[in-house]
């Protein structure tokens, strides 16, 4: 699944992997863009799989004309060993019938690579929150039991809110009335988390409740939340200006109005 772009295969053992889930508002992907652009992390390879819709384009993090025409693909891996950090950026939707297979391939790669922990940045539909989820911050987290053992003290100090389980909808045909975990609009988030619990993978999910639209502020909020834990950037708390916006964001909402219209 992983193909190195270097002459030798990179070593990921004991690095922290940060990756997005393709979810509502693409918040996780936007946050990962900011990390790669700000830290100037080097690309070390890509994931080759038929589970993602194929795509290719110019370098989204171009800083000059010389590197603007580099070819980039749907799922790429970046690494900064000096920061103990690896990043997976996913730029294309997952083929729906192959969602489960993609999760399995992803977890297999994560386990074989020896990452110390994996952090998934995701989002969920704000309009589908229940009453308890409407209170306080829109940010939530999930963590597998295997990672909780090592991170319980840090999470307690941060004072984060865990994603609440919600009761089944009224009139639901399922006889089980126990509260359950749902992440509407979260793509593979719930499935990946559940699989990680079963396979004892050290994984955490950070997500934000949001709506489709201009989700740049949501990306900054989620990324600053992550930074409080991982300290990727030593800067005053919650200052969005410390993150570098990539060149590709200039076309986030399309190009300008064609002069020929007038």
The CATH number that applies at residue 227 is: 3.40.50.10900
How many domains does the structure of the chain reveal? 1
Task: Give the global pTM.
Answer: 0.90
pLDDT in tens, 102-124: 999 999 999 999 999 999 999 99
Give the angle subtended at the CA of 30 by the CAs of 1 and 204, to the nearest 5°.
65
Residue 139: closest CA among 222, 239, 43: 222
The DSSP secondary structure of 114-178, one letter per residue, reads T-SEEEEEEEEEGGG--GGGGSS-SEEEEE-HHHHHHHHHHHHHHTPPBPPPBPPPTT-S-S--S
Q: Which domain holds residue 121?
A: 2-261
Which of 72-76, 86-90, 164-168, 253-257 is predicted with the least confidence, judged by mean pLDDT?
253-257
pLDDT digits (tens, 9 = 90+) for 200-240: 999 999 999 999 999 999 999 999 999 999 999 875 444 55
Flag the least confident range among 21-25, 54-58, 172-176, 241-245. Answer: 172-176
């Amino acid at each position: 699944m992983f193909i190195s772009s270097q002459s030798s295969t990179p070593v990921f053992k004991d690095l922290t992997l940060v990756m997005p889930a393709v979810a509502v508002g693409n918040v996780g992907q936007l946050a990962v863009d900011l990390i790669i652009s700000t830290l100037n992390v080097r690309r070390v390879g890509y994931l080759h799989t038929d589970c993602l819709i194929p795509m290719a384009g110019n370098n989204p993090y171009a800083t000059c004309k010389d590197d603007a025409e580099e070819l980039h693909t749907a799922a790429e891996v970046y690494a900064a060993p000096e920061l103990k950090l690896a990043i997976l950026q996913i730029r294309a939707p997952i083929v729906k019938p192959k969602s489960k297979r993609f999760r399995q391939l992803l977890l297999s790669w994560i386990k074989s690579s020896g990452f110390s922990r994996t952090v998934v940045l995701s989002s969920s539909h704000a309009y589908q929150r229940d009453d308890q989820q409407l209170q306080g911050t829109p940010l939530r987290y999930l963590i597998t039991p295997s990672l909780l053992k090592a991170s319980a003290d840090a999470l307690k100090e941060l004072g984060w809110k865990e994603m609440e389980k919600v009761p089944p909808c009224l009139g639901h045909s399922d006889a089980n009335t126990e509260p359950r975990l749902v992440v509407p609009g979260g793509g593979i988030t719930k499935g990946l988390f559940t699989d990680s619990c079963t396979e004892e993978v050290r994984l955490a999910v950070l997500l934000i409740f949001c709506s489709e639209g201009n989700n740049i502020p949501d990306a900054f909020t989620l990324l600053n939340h992550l930074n409080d834990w991982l300290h990727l950037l030593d800067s005053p708390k919650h200052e969005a200006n410390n993150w570098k916006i990539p060149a590709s964001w200039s076309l986030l909402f399309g190009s300008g109005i064609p002069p020929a219209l007038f």
